[in-house]
Every structure is written in C-alpha cells, then in structure tokens.
Structure 1
Amino acid sequence: MAAAAQVNVSVWRDDDYRRMVMACLIEAVYLLELERQERRDAAAVAQQWWKPFRYRLAHELVDERDGSVFGAIFERDHQPAAAVDGEAPRAVIAFRGTLLRGPTIRRDVEDELRLLARNSLRGSARLAGALQALRATIERFGSENVCLCGHSLGAGFARQVARMLASSSSSSSPPSPRHHHHAAAAAAASLEFHLFNAPYLSLPMGVRSVVKTADCLLKAVRTGVAAVGRWHGKALKNVAYANCILGYTRLESSRRL
C-alpha cells in the first residue's frame, strides 16, 4: 500500500501528467453540457474523464439564463491525512470553451466577443458565479490545494476570476480592507493554473478593425473595465489542449491491451 501511494505521488509530480488530467477534467465539462443538451444523463457519460483520476463531480457552474454548464468543481475522492508535496490538487475548477451549438452559442459568442474587444470578461453574467465558486473552494481547501484550468474561452474565465481575486475588485462586494486585499493577492498567487490555448489580445495592425467591430457589438452591455495590476499564477501554462487529450486516449488504449 505504501509503495502504491509513493507511485501515485511521483506520477502527480510529473507536469505532463498533471496537464493531461486537467485537460481531461475540462473535457468532462464539455460533455456535461453536450449531454445536457441531448437530455441524457450527463454525469454517466462524462465520468469517464474524472473517475480514473479519483475525482468526483462536486458542483456544476450553470448559467442561470439558459441552464448551460460552463464550468465544474471537481474534488478528490480521498486524501491522506497529511499533505504530500507533489500530490494531486484537492479541488479543481474547470471551464470549457465555446460550443457552437444552438442552446449555448449565443452566450458563448457574447463572451468571446467581450474577450476579443476588451481582453476581459467583465460584464459577463457568468463571471460572478465563477468568482463565487473560486472563493468558496479556496475557503474550504486553501489556495495551495486548488487548481484552475480552462480551454480557450474557459482559459479566459480562469484567468479573469484569478485576477479579480488578486485585485479584490469584484463588483458584487464592497472594497476590502488593505490586509484583506493582500491576503486575496497571496491566495491568487499560490493557485495552480493550466490554461490551454488561452485567448489574449495581442493583435497586429491589420485586424484592429475586427476588435473595433466587436467593441461596437458589445456597447449594449458595456460595464467598464477595472484596472488590474500585473499578476502571475504559480504554474501558468498555455499548451496544446488536443495533445493532452490524445495522451489520455493513448494511455487508456494501452491499458486495454
């Protein structure tokens, strides 16, 4: 038993393995929404992407306007009494990217345009729920035991809520005292991140008109963007999502042989 535990810890110390697991949890979020749209038991299908890594679905992040699932909180099924360096995160908050399907395309594209025009998701109706989920998870497990991950638009959500936590500038709460601000910034800095194909605004001159058009489309929901200082997470990654998913499918195939 002790030898098996040691193997488990050493596996989780491998960065490629950690990235693969996070990509799988994001894939689970995609499936939760896709299966919901098909009116099927979403968890029954999606659990293949979290159960092999000893996680469980603790909570879905749902857009109350249309019931779509845009993120999820996963918690470890079992944790040893003492924390061991390099072991799996006790909780993972994962965000999916855009789904170009009828039930959710409008909300997803709105947020994509918001990100394109402002390099920020301020004004998104989903943002408050995502930030609340992050704060509650940190309060329960401690920031050093929490991981944020997302793909494409989902990476934008992960980055945005961490920035808001660091700046303590949530529009839904009053300004925090100075020591609370420093505590929030420290909590954000100790989070683990895996951002796959993260969108960011770094555009050449030739496509500025695209940004201008997107900004015009968003004028109806303009809310203003708060200034946020420079911020970096503990393990900020921007890697190929598809490669990690392919790695998992290869691993599963080898196990069946």
Structure 2
Amino acid sequence: MATEREIFSNSGPLDLTAVDWTNSQHRRTVAASLVQGTYSMEHDRQQKLQGHLALGPPWWEFFNFQPVQVLVDEHDLSIFGAIFKFKFPPSYGNYLPQNPPQYVVAFRGTITKTDTKKQDLKLDFQFIRNRLHQSTRVHLAMQAVQNMVSIAGAANIWLAGHSLGSAIALVAGKNMVKMGCFIETYLFNPPFTSVPIERVKNEKLKHGIRFTTSVIKAGVAIALNSQHQRSQKDHSFNILSGWIPYLFVNPSDPICSEYIGYFEHREKMMEVGIGNIARLATQNSLGNLILGATGKDSEPPHLIPSAYLTINVSPTQDLKQAHGIQQWWKQNINCQFKLHQYR
C-alpha cells in the first residue's frame, strides 16, 4: 500500500505551478520532488503498477521532466536512481526559462521493505565503514554521471539524493570534482558517520566534546601520517573546496544533524586562532584514521570542505518526519541558511 506522502495529489508541491529557476526554494522543491520520484519508481516496480496506476510520473511530469534512464542495482534488481531530462513545454513559446538543468541524476535512500531492505542496509553499513565507493551502485552512478557530462556538460546537470542516495550523490560529486567537473548538487538529510554530538543540549558541554574530539583527531593524524601524506590530503581537500553542494539538514535528525556542528565548530576554531587543528580535524574522521593505521586508508565519504547549509528549524513530530524527504518541498518551513566555505 502506498503512503499518503507517495501520492503526488495528496502531498506534492501542487502550489508551485510556475518554477522560477533563479529561486533557491523552487530549485530545492524540484530536486526533492525528483528524488521522491525515484522512491516512487521503486514502489511501482515492487507493486507492479503501470500506466495510470503508477505513482511515479506526477513527481516529474509536474515540473516538465521525463526519465531517460533508470539505474538498477544488479544484486536485488531494485531501482535506486534515475536520470531525468527537462522538456521545454509548448506553453513557453519563444521564452526560455533561465537556468533549468538539462538533466537531473537523482538517487533514493533506504527502503525498508522486503525487496530492498537487505541490500539497502548493507550499503548503509558500507557507508559507515567508508566502503560505499566500492559498491555497484556508486560505480553505476559514476558511469551515469560521466555519460551525462559528456553529453550535456557539467554546468547543465544536477545531482540530487536523499539519505543513502545523498551519500551516493556526494561520492559521485566529489569524484567528478577531482576530474575537473563541478556539478550543482542537492543533498537531503545526508548521513554523517559520527556520534550525534549536536543532540547534546548543554552548549558548553557540546563545545567541550567537539574541541576534545578535534584535538584527538589532529593528534592522531599527525602521529599516523607523514608530513607528505598530510600535505597530499590538504591539497585534495583544497581542490574540493571550490565545489559547494547544497546540504539540507534537520537538527532533530541524528543521521544528518552533525553537519551543523561540523561546520560551525570549524569556524569557531578558526576564529580563536587554532586553524591548524581545525584544518586537520575537518579532513579526518576517527574511523578513517583507525583504518589508515591498519593499512586500509580511505577518504571519509561524508567530509566536505564547503557547503550551502540549509537547516529546517520548524518543529517536527518524530524522527521519521525529521529525516523524511517530504519536508523539503514544503513552502512554509522555517529555514536558516549559511554558506560555509573552506579557506
């Protein structure tokens, strides 16, 4: 059975009848709706819904998109992503809207249903272990993104994802930056592999925990890595700093809320003159440092230098609502915005 949020006529952004592509809220709504479209595609596949019974089409047709490719996981045959192409409707006439993406590559998150639960949770665990980049889904995602870049150019493509899907989009986006391609990216509730310190209510205690953790990470990084290795990591992080994805997080969602403290604490450390500790701490997680000590060095998939951070500070009823994709196409949510740029 479909839930209400999966049915566009019940919960979709019906009020957005004319998209202003220069409006950041409109762009957020379109990106989130296309991600929901990938969820609905997989729901339709599992329930064998086609034609007028399918739930997916309204999520992209409302914004004049059409799917040109679906991305299928070979292990469970589930649809985990899709490539959507923008169609200029006849009503535009000779007027061309400003800056719509030609293509959007969107990825869904975890679905805890029988057909998808095992593989999705396996990938969640791979993300925690810094091994998501080795998965079939990431390899397929990279092939799709590279193909779209060769067809349309990086400036005409969006990446978008929710939860596990945002982790896939994040890895793909970072890899493309290393190839010299900067793609506009929308990451909804991206997972952050860390203890959710942001949930601590006492501000002094929270700051103390963050400071201690940063000092430990910096110290371990110095102890385990040579000056040359640290210089290489610093160079890699600097390359990524020019790519500024849009991050959408909810402080009541422990899966993604740590991004708030990650960026805010780094700025506080820079302000008080301990930038070297901040620089090392922001590039490393304790997990990847421990793996590095065992000879299994890998880049933490969730750590990024820069971001446009949007925080939904509207009240939420529970974790399901705080982590849900549906909050991001609501027009009346109370959001805080800030650009965090690594220097």
Is the pair's TM-score, using the shorter chain for normalization, greater than 0.5? yes
The answer to whether the aligner puts 1:149 opposite 2:160 as a matched pair is yes
RMSD: 2.9
Shift of 1:108: 0.5
Partner AA of 2:159 in structure 1: L
Q: By how many angstroms is 1:246 displaced?
A: 3.5
Tell me which structure has the larger Cα radius of gyration.
2
> Within 2, Cα distance between the matches of 1:126 and 1:54?
27
What is the aligned partner in structure 2 of residue 39 from structure 1?
48
Ranked by relative contact order (alpha carbons within 8 Å, sequence separation 6 or more), the top structure is: 1
* CA-CA distance at 1:40 after TM superposition: 1.6
Which residue does 1:105 correspond to in 2?
117
Moved more, 157-166 or 231-240: 231-240
Structure 2 partner of 1:60: 70
- Residue 22 of structure 2 aligns with which residue? 13
CA contact (8 A) 1:35 1:42 kept: no
Asked if 1:73 is matched to 2:157, the reply is no
Deviation of 1:83 (Å): 11
Runs of 4+ in 1 over 6 A off after TM superposition: 82-85
Name the aligned partner's letter for residue 27 of structure 1. Q
Secondary structure, in 3 states, of the residue corresponding to 1:100? coil
Task: Tell whether 2:105 aligns with 1:93.
Answer: yes
Give the match for residue 134 of structure 2.
123
- In the aligned structure 2, how far is the partner of 1:42 from the partner of 1:31? 13
Give, as a single letter, the amino acid of the residue that structure 2 aligns with 1:13: T
**Which residue of the partner structure matches residue 221 of structure 1?**
none
TM-score (norm 1): 0.70
Contact 2:34 2:60 in 1 (8 A): yes
CA 1:31–1:106 in structure 2 vs 1: closer, same or farther (change >3 Å)?
same
Identify which of 140, 144, 150 aligns with 1:133: 144
1:74·1:93 contact (CA, 8 Å) conserved in 2? yes
The residue type paired with residue 195 of structure 1 is: L
Match of 1:29 in 2: 38
Question: Where does the alignment leave 5 or more consecutive residues of structure 2 unmatched?
Answer: 1-16, 198-208, 210-232, 251-324, 333-343
Identity within the alignment, %:
29
CA apart distance, 1:77? 1.2
Instruction: Note if contact 1:31-1:42 (Cα within 8 Å) is conserved in structure 2.
Output: no
CA contact (8 A) 1:36 1:42 kept: no
Q: SS of the residue aligned with 2:159?
A: strand
Instruction: Output the CA distance in 2 between the equivalents of 1:105 and 1:112.
Output: 10
Relative distance call for 1:76 and 1:204 in structure 2 (3 A) is: closer
Q: 1:200 aligns with which of 176, 192, 200?
A: 192
1:160 to 143, 167, 171: 171
CA displacement, residues 215-251 of structure 1 (integer Å, 9 cap, x when unaligned): xxxxxxxxxxxx7922243442224533223449xxx
